[in-house]
Amino acid sequence: MFSAERLLQAHPVAAATETREAIARAVEAALGCVAACTACADACLSEEDTTRLSRAAAAAESCATVCAATASTLLRQSGHAEREGLITLLQSCTSACLRCERECREHEMMHDHCRLCVEATTACVEACERLLELL
């Protein structure tokens, strides 16, 4: 089973334990968000009323893209010396997740894929904000 924590521990430039754990949670939350947002965007475009769901689909696609870049970057521990870049990336990830969450909240009562997307984006925001507190 995938474990960001184990991957991060195996790196020769391992961060301090608390930071490493927060990075691992952010990576796993971002990857979960990629999956939920990608599936949600596809499902939104497969519903009968795609016009009503087009903003949610676009927000979910953008969120998936930013979350994928965030997870990938966080796994590259040797680049973590560039603190300002990480902060900007985590803030961008949080912003994309909040936008997606806002759009999908409008549809979560009617569409399970939007509800699941809201759950994933909320978890990702929380993980990114926790990591930001440590940087």
Q: How many Cα atoms sit within 13 Å of 44 on the Cβ side?
A: 28
Q: What domains are defined for the chain?
A: 4-134 (1.20.1270.360)
Residue 103 φ then ψ, to 5°: -65, -45
**Residue 80, pLDDT score:** 62
Distance of CA 111 to the CA centre of its chain: 20
Q: Tens of pLDDT along 40-87?
A: 999 999 999 889 999 999 999 999 999 999 999 999 887 666 788 899
**DSSP-assigned letters across all residues of 42-108:** HHHHHSS-HHHHHHHHHHHHHHHHHHHHHHHHHT-GGGTT-HHHHHHHHHHHHHHHHHHHHHHHTTT
> What is the share, in percent, of the chain residues with pLDDT greater than 70?
97
Least confident of 1-10, 11-20, 115-124: 11-20
